Amino acid sequence: MKRGILLFLLSVAFSLCASAGKVSTITATIHGYNGETVYFDLIEQMEDSFEFPYAEGQTYSFDVELKDITMLKINNWVWICLKPGDSITVDLTYDGRNYKSAEFSGAEDVVAVNTALRDMRMARVAQKYRMDPDAALVTLVPAADYHAQCLERWQTEKAALDAVRKYMPDKMYYYLLSEHEAIFLGNLIVYPAMRASYDGKPVEQVMPADYWTALDNYEPRGDEGSLYSHGYDGFLLTFADYAYKRNLVRAGKDWRQELSLRGGFDMLVDFYGNNKNMVDAALCVYLYNAAAAGRDFDDVDKLVKLYLKKYNKNKKYREILQEVMQ
């Protein structure tokens, strides 16, 4: 074995498995990093995530059998989207702890998609877009400015994904689009109230002029790829609440009063009821959040039973709620 090459073969070979041949090889060479550990996190398959001690110029290579589309994060900065069977080589350069560059090699489709993802993230940094709205709060970004940034990044990154869509199956395209929409549109919706609370002002004083019209043409999606995004599943709640309040505003009614636990449940059923996949996902997240937040157990339990009886389709959602209610 050559010096400086550390080969980790961590996959399990199932010679009789129908998915044989879908092994992905991930190779990364890292320069200039002064941290002690290199992290490879497979977000949709965390049980197969890895961490290795860092050595300058070390090449790390490992095989993994991906079950489905997976986002790989290297040191939480470089994001790489892979489908089963995809392989990629990354040449990653740091200046201490500061990321400088990442270059990809491999199949044309894998390189094209992940180069686009890299360039999107670098554009956010160049434009000083705060992915976390809490960071925008403490750096005193005005609500109108953040609103405009969210809209611009959403439209720009959708165009970037559209430009490489030919290299992706539909599920991957809608997964990535939904991941981005959950960030930018979710931030757009929640930030004015956060800004107002932080500044001690009425929300009307900080709300952008087009807040209630900016998403008039947006339609949430219930396809397999969109609902594969955990962030988008949560965004379904945020968007439904926004649309509900938007309707109250347009009817000249008070939109500030929060719904009861049952009221929120019924609102989601009314809003997404024509799409069984969306109402299934939205109610699962809603009830999970209610249970995790310590809402009255009996009230949550009644709604969980109603959900499982009338609205649940996805076995995974059922298992998630049954576990959290134990």
Kindly report the CATH number assigned to the domain that includes residue 42. 2.60.40
What pLDDT band is residue 20 in, cutting at 50, 70 and 90? very low
Identify which has the larger pLDDT, 322 or 239: 239
Average pLDDT score over residue span 46-63: 94
d(CA 61, CA 209): 51
The answer to the question of residue 252 being in a domain is no
Query: What phi and psi values does residue 157 have, to the nearest 5 degrees?
Result: -75, -30
Task: Please give the pLDDT value at position 22.
Answer: 84
Torsion angle (degrees, nearest 10) of CA 194, 197, 198, 200: 150
d(CA 131, CA 134): 9
Structure tokens of 43? 């977000």
| Contact residues for 218 (Cβ-Cβ < 8 A; gap 6+) | 185, 239
Determine the structural domain holding residue 104 and report its residue range.
1-111
- Nearest CA to 11 among 78, 82, 67, 69? 67
The answer to the question of residue 83 being in a domain is yes
Reported as a single tens digit per residue, the pLDDT across 254-301 is 999 899 999 999 999 999 989 999 999 999 999 999 999 999 999 999
- Nearest CA to 286 among 255, 313, 258, 307? 307
What is the CB neighbour count within 10 angstroms for residue 287? 27
Give the strand order in the sheet containing 78-82.
50-53, 37-42, 70-74, 78-82
The answer to the question of residue 41 being in a domain is yes
The answer to the question of residue 13 being in a domain is yes
Q: Calculate Rg over the CA atoms of the chain.
A: 22
Task: Please give the pLDDT value at position 11.
Answer: 32
The answer to the question of residue 69 being in a domain is yes
**Helix axis angle, 170-199 to 108-126, nearest 10°:** 10
The answer to the question of residue 101 being in a domain is yes
Question: For the chain, what is the mean pLDDT?
Answer: 92
Number of compact structural domains in the chain? 1
Q: Read off the amino acid at residue 161.
A: L
The answer to the question of residue 102 being in a domain is yes
* CA dihedral sign, ordered 245, 250, 256, 261: negative
Q: Is the pLDDT of residue 4 over 80?
A: no
Q: Is the pLDDT of residue 157 over 50?
A: yes
Reported as a single tens digit per residue, the pLDDT across 292-307 is 999 999 999 999 999 9
Report the residue count for the chain: 326
Average pLDDT score over residue span 137-150: 97
The answer to the question of residue 263 being in a domain is no
